[in-house]
């Protein structure tokens, strides 16, 4: 790896980080570690178990009666003190931070409890009674567009909240003239780079000043501060937002904490005390932001040699139940580079944003990248295969040619610098591509399944704050006024002893910003590394910041570090002038090094840095004219290249564009479908490298998350809208065992547009790696449709042939339910030692129902065929109390009856229909039953693996109780033993 070094050589070196000593000794200060006022109360949130339902009533009286509970707050209470959230598109829709009247996704906040402790607050949650009227759900983004789809927001009149079409060049002509048209259709799943630390907020309200003070592990962009202040109906200067010194990772995700900043602020106001909320893991998985899932059809017009002359995108973006700021940014972040690393001048794009009964989406590492590179690079792979061309050759022929930089893409991005072809060739050579081909050959000869995948990508960084306005029509934009730029800010302060402090608004979550900034500034001022201290906490009430502040779009190295360098330049210039007057030389002759300022031609003629630096404090009158002072220098920097969208929708969506080319070799175990990444090579051109250790760390970290996205991770939903990935045993992040070590290569093309020549590097592998792995699987299996995540079961479907049937024709048919479906069905029979009439009477008798319904505490007869009961249901240690409604219908005395029931409780809800038939068998009765039941809510989210079996045990309990009540039961043993004895076989 080649590294440019500045004179004193700190920049570019892999210095030990200044952050680490505290973090390694348990002295980090994360949000949950911060001291709070003694009267701080704790917030817990009641969340919807339903994906779509009306809220008919909320009864909090029992919760409020609990000792230590200060307040129970509903959506209407919050609404009375706030304003609906600003939505990024023009649409007739309200967007509240918690549910009012209706819930639209599992996990949507329904009520807030403020109590003495979190434990107590959760006790209170259990006591709140909510009456829901369940509504039909729509989970699939394509289905959401159908006319008959249930509507999430009736005021919108449709589930499509935004639609725009774009054309650049002449795509129609290119397609009509093309020799080949090749297309892919991709459904990209939902996942999230979920950090190990969850969200946290501490909020206070000062009624005297009508001002909020909120500390949250928010990561930016601080444009969201405006959204929060507007929602809370206070001017920005009465909404003080602070971040803790340390944050346990974010990867975009902690942008979404802003909703809870609003809720906690209101809770503090209503309860009259500071309020603290730490999100738990279940809440995080089901209700924090994730990346969008997207359905894409991408078609290419292709020449016989594989050259692509036009692309046509049709994207359906699923943003979940509400379009929350800054969405639909995921869809538009890549708008300038929808042609990837390729020179394709004709481009058509149709973008639709739909709302479904899923959690609202937001920032996530790779933001919008995986969703476009997956189709694009699958398409390049398919083009080669369909035309019988070499896959490398197809990529090579389409890459933006060497010498074409800066290169303007069809949709308006200005690819700042690079030599994609050279980096591509270097990757093949230095990464050992030919050896890999040889390895594949040998593996295949040995009967193994082995594939090679490729992926090329452009990694954008430093977002143009105006790109999101591309979602508006040119007329709407003209009316709203132009939005553009990306203000970065850095402040350098010098204290009376001449010590240097740097302050930035970059809000790091582990990226080592303090170390890099110390390197940059120490280099510039000729100071030892330790002499510069850096502060990265942000306080909107005190610090310099702007809407682009924060840690996202890989903007730190390119924009923030560069701005710190500009601030250091300015201070240096003035210090040089002061020193020059003291040393009696020209300022141009002054040099900084080793903590001293001296005459380049006569280093002995020198003065200490601190002395010169402190003089603005102690002797301002002695400074040369026109210098002002050197006490504090704040620089705001925004790149001129980031212009607002043009009238024809051209948009330079990002300032910098790194280049990535990846290839990998993957072996599949033919017996189990398990995937082993044999080799992974990733080439990055991220401009100038400021700290090689951190660059490698960013690449490895993103790579590991991408391996997760490719093979393990999905926020899975059932067809009924249940959220199924509620624990870390269901949402599977790779461990050290599943994460191979990639070979990392670099090709450095400094960006001409950033002060230090650096570009972003933090997100690239999240964009390139999932598709690179998918392409390798396609190569290994010969399959053309590859869907993520590639679990061994999915791979098995690709490699195992027809399943061997059972030799026993009686064997049960394979269960029809699809993975994730929560519909349970079953049938069986029990023989009861009683006549049909006796059994029939029992079924209709409320008194016996009490005995029959497992765990019933009291059956109330509403009508002859309608009963209500409190029941305790459970398996093993899992127990919950439910309200049950039971109805009898389709009665054919004494032969058959349909029993339908629904239950609702803290663990979730269930509903089922069972048809019971009674057949006479020598004075005894054979009770046949067949049921269909659905289960959702918390139990579905956290008990996924165990749920089906557990539910069957519970349902079995009913029939077992029925049999026992009729005198057919045998004592002792567990439920199923008894059931089995009764049924004479397995149900």
Residues 857-886 that bind ligand FAD (CB under 6 A): 876-877
Nearer to ligand FAD, 34 or 728 (CB): 728
Q: Quick one: CA dihedral 839, 840, 843, 846, positive or negative? A: negative
Gap between the Cα atoms of 944 and 350, Å rounded = 37
Gap between the Cα atoms of 945 and 186, Å rounded = 28
Gap between the Cα atoms of 935 and 644, Å rounded = 49
CA distances (Å), origin 180, targets 36, 300, 307, 380, 386: 66, 8, 10, 13, 10
Q: Considering the rule CB under 8 A, would residue 510 count as an interface residue with another protein?
A: yes
Nearer to ligand FES, 254 or 952 (CB): 254
Gap between the Cα atoms of 407 and 345, Å rounded = 11
Q: Which 178-207 positions form the footprint of another protein (CB under 8 A)? A: 193-198
Residue nearest to ligand FAD (CB): 877
Residues in the chain: 987
Q: How many residues bind ligand FAD (CB under 6 A)?
A: 2
| Residue/partner pairs of 798-806 with CB below 8 Å, 24 or more apart | 798/673, 799/449, 799/668, 799/670, 799/673, 800/673
Q: Which 306-365 positions form the footprint of another protein (CB under 8 A)? A: none
Nearer to ligand FAD, 7 or 735 (CB): 735
Residue nearest to ligand FES (CB): 196
**Which residue stretches of 418-504 are H helix?**
420-430, 433-445, 474-480
Nearer to ligand FAD, 212 or 712 (CB): 712
Q: Considering the rule CB under 6 A, would residue 737 count as an interface residue with ligand FES?
A: no
DSSP string, 216-235: E-----THHHHHHHHHTTS-
Q: Considering the rule CB under 8 A, would residue 728 count as an interface residue with another protein?
A: yes
Q: Considering the rule CB under 6 A, would residue 196 count as an interface residue with ligand FES?
A: yes
Gap between the Cα atoms of 254 and 233, Å rounded = 23
Q: Which 509-548 positions form the footprint of ligand FES (CB under 6 A)? A: 510
Sheet order of strands, 53-59 included: 102-103, 53-59, 129-134
The listed partner (ligand FAD, another protein, ligand FES, none) that binds 17, CB under 5 to 8 Å by sort, is another protein
Q: Considering the rule CB under 8 A, would residue 441 count as an interface residue with another protein?
A: no
Nearer to another protein, 621 or 972 (CB): 972
CA distances (Å), origin 464, targets 322, 343, 652, 654: 24, 22, 7, 5
CA 709 to chain centre: 11
Q: Which 455-484 positions form the footprint of another protein (CB under 8 A)? A: none
Gap between the Cα atoms of 880 and 192, Å rounded = 31
Report DSSP state, residue 8: S
Neighbouring residues of 270: CB distance < 8 A, sequence distance ≥ 6: 71, 73, 77, 81, 114
Q: Considering the rule CB under 6 A, would residue 252 count as an interface residue with ligand FES?
A: no
The structure tokens listed for 906 are: 């803290």
The listed partner (ligand FES, another protein, ligand FAD, none) that binds 903, CB under 5 to 8 Å by sort, is none
Gap between the Cα atoms of 278 and 198, Å rounded = 7
Whether 274 contacts 339, CB under 8 Å: no
Q: Considering the rule CB under 6 A, would residue 196 count as an interface residue with ligand FAD?
A: no
Q: How far is the CB of 729 from ligand FAD (least distance, A)?
A: 7
Nearer to ligand FAD, 442 or 945 (CB): 945
Return phi, psi of residue 139, to 5°. Answer: -110, -30
The listed partner (ligand FES, another protein, ligand FAD, none) that binds 818, CB under 5 to 8 Å by sort, is another protein
Q: Considering the rule CB under 6 A, would residue 481 count as an interface residue with ligand FAD?
A: no
Beta bridge partners of 913: 900, 932
Nearer to another protein, 874 or 928 (CB): 874
Q: Considering the rule CB under 8 A, would residue 739 count as an interface residue with another protein?
A: yes
**Which residue stretches of 782-892 are H helix?**
792-799, 836-844, 846-852
Nearer to another protein, 76 or 821 (CB): 821
The listed partner (ligand FES, another protein, ligand FAD, none) that binds 258, CB under 5 to 8 Å by sort, is none
- Pairing mode, strands 69-74 and 924-936: unpaired
Q: How many residues bind ligand FES (CB under 6 A)?
A: 3
Q: Which 952-981 positions form the footprint of another protein (CB under 8 A)? A: 952-953, 972-977, 980
Nearer to ligand FES, 196 or 446 (CB): 196
Nearer to ligand FES, 641 or 698 (CB): 698
Q: How far is the CB of 587 from another protein (least distance, A)?
A: 39
Taking residues 841 to 880 in sequence order and writing x for each that binds another protein by CB under 8 A, - otherwise, the string is ----------------------------------xxxxxx
Nearer to ligand FAD, 600 or 945 (CB): 945
Q: Which 10-69 positions form the footprint of another protein (CB under 8 A)? A: 14, 16-17, 19-21, 23-28, 30, 32-33
Taking residues 675 to 714 in sequence order and writing x for each that binds another protein by CB under 8 A, - otherwise, the string is ------------------xx-xx-xxxxxxx------x--
Nearer to ligand FAD, 196 or 446 (CB): 196
Nearer to another protein, 122 or 850 (CB): 122
Count of beta carbons in the 10 Å neighbourhood of residue 976: 17
Q: Applying CB under 8 A, which of residues 733, 834, 869, 955 lies at the interface with another protein? A: 733
Longest Cα–Cα distance of the chain, Å, equals 120
Q: How far is the CB of 951 from ligand FAD (least distance, A)?
A: 18
Nearer to ligand FES, 510 or 936 (CB): 510
Selected range binding another protein among 202-210, 421-429, 671-679, 959-967, rule: CB under 8 A: 671-679
The structure tokens listed for 208 are: 């005297």
Q: Considering the rule CB under 6 A, would residue 249 count as an interface residue with ligand FES?
A: yes
| 669 membership: H or E segment, kind and range | none
Q: Applying CB under 8 A, which of residues 499, 732, 891, 913 lies at the interface with another protein? A: 732
Q: How far is the CB of 905 from another protein (least distance, A)?
A: 11
Q: Quick one: CA dihedral 267, 271, 275, 278, positive or negative? A: negative
Gap between the Cα atoms of 770 and 734, Å rounded = 14
Residues of this chain that bind ligand FAD (CB under 6 A):
876-877
Residues of this chain that bind ligand FES (CB under 6 A):
196, 249, 510
């Amino acid at each position: 790896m080649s590294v440019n070094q500045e004179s004193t050589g700190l920049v570019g070196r892999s210095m030990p980080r200044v952050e680490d000593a505290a973090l390694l000794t348990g002295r980090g200060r994360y949000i949950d570690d911060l001291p709070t006022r003694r009267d701080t109360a704790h917030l817990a949130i009641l969340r919807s178990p339903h994906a779509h339902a009306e809220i008919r009533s909320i009864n909090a009286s029992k919760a409020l009666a609990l000792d230590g509970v200060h307040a129970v707050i509903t959506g209407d209470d919050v609404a009375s003190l706030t304003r609906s959230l600003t939505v990024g598109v023009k649409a007739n829709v309200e967007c509240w931070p918690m549910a009012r009247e209706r819930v639209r996704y599992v996990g949507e906040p329904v009520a807030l409890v403020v109590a003495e402790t979190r434990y107590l607050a959760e006790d209170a949650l259990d006591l709140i009674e909510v009456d829901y009227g369940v509504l039909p759900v729509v989970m699939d983004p394509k289905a959401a567009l159908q006319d008959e789809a249930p509507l999430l927001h009736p005021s919108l009149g449709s589930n499509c909240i935004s639609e725009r079409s774009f054309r650049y060049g002449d795509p129609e002509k290119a397609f009509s003239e093309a020799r080949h048209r090749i297309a892919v259709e991709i459904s990209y799943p939902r996942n999230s780079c979920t950090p190990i630390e969850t969200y946290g907020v501490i909020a206070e309200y000062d009624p005297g000043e009508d001002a909020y003070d909120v500390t949250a592990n928010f990561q930016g962009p601080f444009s969201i501060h405006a959204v929060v202040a507007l929602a809370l109906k206070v001017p920005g200067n009465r909404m003080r937002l602070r971040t803790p010194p340390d944050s346990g990772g974010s990867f975009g995700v902690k942008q979404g904490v802003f909703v809870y900043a609003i809720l906690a602020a209101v809770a503090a106001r209503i309860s009259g005390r500071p309020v603290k909320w730490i999100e738990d893991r279940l809440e995080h998985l089901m209700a924090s932001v994730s990346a969008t899932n997207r359905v894409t059809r991408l078609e290419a017009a292709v020449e016989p040699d594989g050259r692509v002359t036009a692309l046509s995108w049709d994207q359906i973006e699923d943003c979940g139940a509400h379009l929350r700021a800054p969405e639909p940014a995921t869809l538009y972040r890549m708008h300038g580079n929808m042609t990837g690393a390729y020179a394709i001048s004709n481009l058509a794009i149709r973008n639709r944003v739909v709302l479904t009964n899923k959690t609202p989406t937001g920032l996530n590492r790779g933001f919008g990248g995986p969703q476009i590179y997956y189709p694009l690079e699958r398409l390049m792979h398919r083009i080669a295969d369909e035309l019988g061309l070499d896959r490398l050759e197809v990529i090579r022929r389409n890459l933006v040619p060497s010498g074409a930089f800066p290169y303007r893409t069809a949709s308006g991005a200005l690819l700042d610098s690079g030599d994609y072809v050279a980096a591509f060739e270097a990757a093949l050579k230095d990464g050992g591509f030919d050896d890999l081909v040889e390895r594949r050959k040998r593996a295949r000869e040995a009967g193994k399944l082995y594939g090679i995948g490729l992926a090329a990508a452009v990694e954008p960084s430093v977002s143009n704050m105006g790109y999101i306005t591309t979602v508006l029509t040119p007329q709407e934009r003209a009316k709203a006024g132009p939005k553009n730029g990306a203000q970065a800010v850095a402040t350098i302060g010098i204290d009376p002893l001449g010590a240097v402090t740097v302050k930035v608004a970059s809000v790091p979550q582990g990226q080592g910003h303090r170390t890099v900034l110390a390197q940059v500034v120490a280099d510039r001022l000729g100071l030892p590394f330790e002499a510069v201290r850096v502060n990265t906490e942000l306080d909107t009430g005190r610090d310099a910041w702007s809407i682009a502040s924060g840690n996202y779009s890989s903007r730190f190295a390119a924009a923030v570090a560069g701005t710190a360098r500009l601030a250091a330049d300015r201070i240096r210039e003035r210090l040089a002038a002061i020193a020059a007057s003291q040393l009696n030389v020209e300022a141009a002759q002054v040099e900084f090094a080793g903590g001293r300022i001296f005459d380049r031609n006569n280093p002995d003629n020198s003065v200490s840095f601190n002395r010169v630096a402190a003089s603005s404090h102690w002797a301002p009158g002695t400074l040369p004219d026109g210098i002002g002072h050197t006490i504090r220098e704040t620089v705001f920097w925004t790149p001129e290249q980031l212009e607002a969208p043009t009238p024809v929708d051209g948009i330079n969506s990002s300032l910098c564009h790194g280049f990535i080319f990846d290839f990998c070799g993957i072996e599949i175990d033919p017996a189990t479908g398990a995937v082993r990444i044999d080799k992974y090579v990733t080439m990055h051109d991220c401009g100038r490298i400021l700290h090689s250790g951190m660059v490698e760390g960013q690449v490895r970290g993103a790579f590991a998350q991408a391996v997760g996205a490719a093979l393990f991770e999905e926020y899975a939903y059932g067809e009924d809208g249940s959220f199924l990935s509620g624990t870390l045993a269901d949402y599977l992040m790779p461990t050290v065992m599943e994460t191979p070590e990639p070979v990392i290569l670099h090709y450095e093309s400094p960006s001409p547009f950033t002060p230090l020549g650096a570009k972003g590097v933090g997100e690239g592998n999240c964009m390139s790696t999932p598709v690179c792995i998918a392409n390798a699987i396609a190569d290994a299996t010969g399959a053309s449709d590859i869907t993520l995540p590639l679990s061994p079961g999915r791979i098995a479907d690709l490699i195992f042939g027809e399943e061997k049937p059972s030799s026993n024709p009686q064997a049960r048919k394979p269960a029809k339910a699809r993975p994730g479906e929560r519909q349970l069905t079953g049938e069986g029979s029990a023989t009861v030692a009683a006549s049909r009439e006796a059994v029939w009477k029992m079924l209709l008798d409320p008194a016996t129902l009490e005995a029959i319904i497992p765990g019933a505490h009291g059956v109330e007869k509403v009508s002859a065929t309608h009963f209500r009961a409190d029941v305790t249901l459970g398996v093993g240690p899992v127990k919950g109390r439910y309200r049950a409604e039971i109805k009898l219908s389709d009665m054919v005395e004494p032969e058959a009856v349909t029993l339908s029931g629904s239950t609702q409780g803290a663990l979730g809800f269930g509903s089922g229909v069972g048809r019971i038939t009674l057949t006479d068998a020598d004075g005894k009765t054979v009770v046949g039953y067949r049921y269909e039941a659905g289960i959702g809510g918390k139990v579905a989210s956290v008990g996924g693996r165990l749920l089906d079996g557990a539910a069957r045990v519970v349902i079995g309990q009913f029939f077992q109780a029925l049999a026992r009540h009729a005198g057919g039961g045998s004592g002792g043993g567990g439920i199923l033993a008894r059931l089995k004895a009764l049924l004479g076989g397995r149900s």
